[in-house]
Amino acid sequence: MRARLLRWAVLAVAVPVAAAGAKKLADVVEERRGPSSRIARGIRKAAETVRPTRR
């Protein structure tokens, strides 16, 4: 039971942090390669899938 709770707590923190890092990475790639970069769009789409922003 304790291991399951620990796993949940780690994922509850790790997923949003990873999504935020992916969005930052997409911003950097977009600055270097331009807004129509397939790589930047792919990274941003993956980050939005993991942690969607509220609109």
Check residue 36 and give its pLDDT.
83
Check residue 55 and give its pLDDT.
60
User: Which stretches within the chain are classed as H helix?
Assistant: 2-33, 38-50
Cα–Cα distance between 15 and 1 in angstroms, integer? Answer: 21
Check residue 5 and give its pLDDT.
93
Please check the confidence at residue 45 and state whether its pLDDT lies above 70. yes
Tokens of 26: 């997409």
Give 20-44 pLDDT, tens digit per residue: 999 999 999 999 998 888 999 999 8
CA 6 to chain centroid: 22
Cα–Cα distance between 16 and 19 in angstroms, integer? Answer: 5
Average pLDDT over residues 7-19: 92
Whether 23 and 45 have beta carbons less than 8 Å apart is answered as no
